[in-house]
């Protein structure tokens, strides 16, 4: 999954799924909770990302009962997805280090 | 409310009805969950619904994003493959593509349990019994088997049953071979009639009205074609008379 | 991971179906009799006539008859005989045997000759071809003549209706043997088959007859 700019949505979704299988709404709420509300995306736009990951084989999906009692479509990270996650994490860290490196050369601002 | 989902789906060009249904259900479920949470937070039902829908974002954006994931290419490929599988399954059921299995069946039958003619045999006519001489000879890439002989000493007549099949159990038997096999007695008289058939895996031939003198103890089978000369003695045993 | 994966992505479905298709195709090819090349159709004819493996001496190419689909004719031979094999391609069955004429060349004759008439029935049309073919073992020949005709009522006198010359320049050399193939002209058949026999005559430079006899081997196929 090579991209010129790193699409952090995929990275975040993959990371969440590496912990446990989740369904769409759950991912949104988890994302918001863990990032202390830094990441709040327009909820619908999660789905193209999920379906894209599914299409490429990074995740599998199945139907199961959610804690709310309703049936929801759960997403599960595949082995291929885990590999992709590792790669994306590496790329992100390299990017972050790069940004940090540039910032540290800036004069401190009052 | 229905408009929101229809709007999203309208941007997805190449999805099957099933896929559309699944997408709709997934989005509806999401909105349902969000609305429930808002209601729990104190909003009334209608307010919760409209806020949840708004929180989803621009339906066109969602729709176009999904459209990118449902490309035409895989759809066509998937359908073409399904058609191909169906076509092959039908033709397999008709069994012609498994031709070699039929050859195998006929080949093995000829090896171990060759058929007896459906025509009225000499034995039926005269009440004599025949025997299996168990003679096999390689001719080219086929095997010629003499699997039954019927003999009537009083009438002075014999019948010989032949079959040929490919050495390779999956192979095709030669159709023409039997037509060039001749049986003669020691005096040099030949069989006067022959009948046979071939089904691919094996070919059968029955040579009848072979004159037999009382003293004869064997018949001679010959095949002479394409430079290949085969000569085989068929001993006429004394057993099996009457 | 003990849950059923209820949904398959479209790509996955396509890949699985393609794999299944490929597996089925392999099964059909292995257990079937589907020949992907005309050589397979020739082999089928070889098996039927029990001639053994042959080499193509001359590819006749498309039959050029109406209603025969994609079909080819090949003149083949090995040490012991010749096979004029027809093969036709059917989508469902591949290249199949479509007719043959066979010639035993193991005898001592100077010339081995066979004829083959190929006929495809069509309303009111002449839709057939007629060939004479064979192998020349006699040395010193210069001209081979094929006469079409037959014996008259008495059975003694040969009557020639037409004649075709096959000079040495038209003979085919292959693997140390000399072969010939000649298409015979069509002409309105006279009543009775007697006028459809072929007689071959081989003469040397001086005109001496080295071989002369009726063609008795070969075949005739009414195409399906």
Confidence of residue B240 (pLDDT cuts 50, 70, 90): very low
Is 90 exceeded by the pLDDT of residue C203?
A: yes
Cβ <8 Å between B139 and C33: no
pLDDT band at A47 (very low <50, low <70, confident <90, very high): very high
Least confident of A44-58, B95-109, C41-55, C109-123: B95-109
pLDDT greater than 60 at residue A5: no
Chain B residues 100-119 within an 8 A CB cutoff of chain A: none
Q: How far is A75 from chain C (nearest CA, A)?
A: 10
Q: Higher-confidence residue: B97 or A22?
A: A22
Which residue of chain B is at minimal alpha-carbon distance from C24?
A: B88
pLDDT interval class at C113 (50, 70, 90): very high
Q: Which of A84, A36, A34, A37 is nearest to A58 (CA)?
A: A84
Task: List CB contacts (< 8 A) between C51 and chain B.
Answer: 226
For range B125-137, the mean pLDDT:
81
Percent of all residues in chain B with a pLDDT value above 70, rounded to a whole number: 91
* pLDDT for position B145: 93
Closest-CA distance, B48 to chain C, in angstroms, reads 31
Percent of chain A at pLDDT > 90 equals 35
Q: What confidence tier does B119 reach under pLDDT thresholds 50, 70, 90?
A: low
Q: What average pLDDT does range B180-189 have in this prediction?
A: 88
Report CA-CA distances (Å) from A95 to A7, A46, A90, A91.
12, 23, 9, 6
Cross-chain Cβ contact C18/B81 below 8 Å: yes
**Is B62 close to A24, i.e. CB distance below 8 A?**
no
Asked if residues C183 and C79 have their Cβ atoms less than 8 Å apart, the reply is no
Q: Tell me, rounded to whole angstroms, the distance of Cα B94 from its chain centroid.
A: 8
Determine how many CB atoms are found less than 10 A away from the CB of residue C8. 15
Nearest residue on chain C to B91, alpha-carbon basis? C92
Neighbour order of strands in the sheet with A22-23 = A22-23, A71-77, A59-65
Mean pLDDT of B71-87: 87
pLDDT by residue (tens digit) across A15-46? 999 999 999 999 998 888 888 777 777 888 89
pLDDT score of C34: 79
Contacts of B74 in chain A (CB under 8 A): 55
Is B29's pLDDT higher than 70? Answer: yes
Predicted pLDDT at B118? 54
* Least confidently predicted of A5-9, A81-85, B3-7, C150-154: A5-9
Q: Which of A35-39, B235-239, C147-151, C162-166 has the highest mean pLDDT?
A: C162-166
Q: What is the pLDDT of residue B167?
A: 93
Is residue B241 very low, low, confident or very high in pLDDT (cuts 50, 70, 90)?
Answer: very low
pLDDT at C188: 52
The candidate with the shortest Cα–Cα distance to A78, out of A101, A95, A61, is A61
**Phi (first) and psi of residue C111, to 5 degrees:** -130, 130
Residue B141's CB is within 10 A of a number of other CB atoms, namely: 17
Contact check, Cβ <8 Å, C51/B226? yes
Q: A-chain residues within 8 Å CB-CB of B36?
A: 68
Answer whether 0.90 is exceeded by the pTM.
no
State residue B95's pLDDT score.
57
Point out the residue among A54, A55, A62 whose CB comes nearest to the CB of C3: A62
What are the structure tokens assigned to B236, written together? 């006429």
The pLDDT of residue A6: 54
Tell me the per-residue pLDDT of A61-87, one tens digit each, with 9 for 90 and over: 999 999 988 999 999 999 999 998 998
| CA-to-CA dists, residue C49 to A91, C84, C85, angstroms | 70, 11, 11
Mean pLDDT over the full length of chain B: 85
Q: Considering only residues B74 and B221, tell me which one the structure prediction assigns the higher pLDDT.
A: B221
Contact C49, C184 (CB under 8 A): no
Check pLDDT > 60 for residue C192.
Answer: no
Q: Which residue from C minimizes the CA distance to B79?
A: C14
* pLDDT, average across residues C43-72: 91
pLDDT confidence of B242, banded at 50, 70, 90? very low
In this predicted structure, what is the pLDDT of residue C7? 75
Contact A55/B at CB under 8 A:
yes
Please tell me the distance in Å from A65's CA to the nearest CA on chain B.
Answer: 12
Please state the rounded mean pLDDT for residues C89-98: 87
Q: Which chain C residues contact residue B85 at CB under 8 A? A: 17, 20-21, 24
Q: Which residues of A touch B27 (CB under 8 A)?
A: 44, 47
A45 touches chain B (CB under 8 A): yes
Q: Is the model's pLDDT at A91 over the cut of 60?
A: yes
Which of A53, A62, A77 is the best substitution to test chain C (most C C-beta atoms within 10 A)? A62
Note the pLDDT of residue C189.
52
Q: Which of A3, A22, A33, A43 to mutate to test the interface with B (most CBs of B within 10 A)?
A: A43
Query: Residue B192 above 80 pLDDT?
Result: no
Q: What is the model's pLDDT at position C187?
A: 62
Asked if pLDDT for residue B206 goes beyond 80, the answer is: yes
Across the interface, whether the CB atoms of A62 and C12 are under 8 A apart is answered no
**Closest CA relative to residue C184, chosen from C146, C211, C141:** C146
Whether residue A104 has pLDDT greater than 50: yes
């Amino acid at each position: 999954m090579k991209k010129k700019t790193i699409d952090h949505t995929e990275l975040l979704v993959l990371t969440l799924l590496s912990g446990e299988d989740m369904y769409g709404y759950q991912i949104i709420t988890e994302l918001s909770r863990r990032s202390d509300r830094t990441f709040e995306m327009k909820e619908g736009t999660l789905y193209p990302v999920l379906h894209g990951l599914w299409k490429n084989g990074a995740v599998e999906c199945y139907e199961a009962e959610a804690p709310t009692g309703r049936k929801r479509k759960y997403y599960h990270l595949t082995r291929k997805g885990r590999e992709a996650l590792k790669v994306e994490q590496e790329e992100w860290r390299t990017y972050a280090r790069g940004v940090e490196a540039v910032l540290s050369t800036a004069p401190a601002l009052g | 409310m229905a408009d929101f989902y229809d709007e999203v789906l309208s941007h997805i060009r190449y999805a099957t009805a099933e896929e559309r249904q699944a997408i709709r259900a997934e989005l509806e479920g999401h909105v349902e969950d969000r609305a429930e949470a808002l209601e729990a937070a104190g909003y009334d039902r209608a307010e919760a619904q409209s806020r949840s829908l708004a929180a989803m974002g621009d339906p066109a954006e969602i729709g176009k994003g999904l459209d990118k994931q449902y490309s035409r290419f895989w759809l066509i490929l998937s359908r073409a493959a399904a058609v191909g599988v169906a076509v092959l399954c039908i033709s397999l059921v008709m069994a012609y593509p498994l031709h070699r299995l039929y050859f195998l069946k006929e080949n093995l039958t000829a090896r171990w349990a060759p058929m007896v003619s459906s025509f009225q045999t000499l034995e039926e006519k005269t009440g004599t019994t025949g025997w299996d001489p168990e003679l096999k000879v390689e001719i080219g890439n086929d095997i010629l088997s003499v699997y039954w002989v019927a003999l009537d000493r009083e009438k002075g007549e014999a019948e010989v049953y032949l079959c040929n099949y490919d050495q390779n159990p999956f192979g095709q038997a030669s159709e023409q071979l039997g037509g060039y096999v001749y049986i003669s007695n020691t005096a040099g008289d030949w069989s006067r009639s022959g009948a046979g058939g071939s089904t691919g895996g094996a070919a059968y031939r029955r040579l009848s009205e072979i004159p037999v003198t009382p003293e004869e103890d064997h018949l001679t089978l010959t095949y002479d074609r394409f430079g290949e000369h085969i000569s085989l003695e068929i001993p006429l045993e004394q057993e099996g008379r009457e | 991971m003990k849950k059923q994966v209820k949904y398959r992505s479209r790509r996955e479905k396509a890949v699985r179906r393609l794999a299944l298709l490929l597996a089925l195709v392999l099964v059909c090819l292995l257990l079937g009799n589907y020949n992907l090349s005309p050589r397979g159709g020739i082999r089928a004819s070889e098996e039927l006539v029990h001639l053994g493996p042959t080499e193509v001496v001359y590819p006749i190419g498309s039959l050029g008859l109406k209603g025969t689909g994609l079909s080819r004719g090949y003149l083949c031979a090995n040490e012991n005989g010749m096979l004029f094999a027809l093969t036709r391609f059917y989508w469902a069955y591949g290249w199949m045997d479509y007719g043959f004429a066979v010639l035993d060349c193991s005898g001592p004759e100077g010339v081995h000759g066979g004829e083959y008439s190929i006929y495809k029935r069509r309303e009111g049309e002449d839709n057939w071809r007629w060939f004479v073919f064979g192998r020349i073992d006699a040395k010193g020949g210069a001209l081979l003549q094929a006469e079409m005709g037959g014996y008259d009522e008495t059975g003694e006198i040969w009557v020639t209706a037409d004649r075709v010359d096959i000079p040495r320049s038209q003979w085919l050399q292959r693997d140390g043997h000399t072969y010939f193939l000649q298409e015979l002209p069509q002409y309105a058949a006279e009543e009775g088959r007697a006028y459809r026999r072929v007689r071959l005559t081989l003469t040397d430079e001086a005109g001496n007859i080295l071989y002369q006899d009726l063609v008795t081997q070969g075949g005739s196929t009414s195409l399906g």
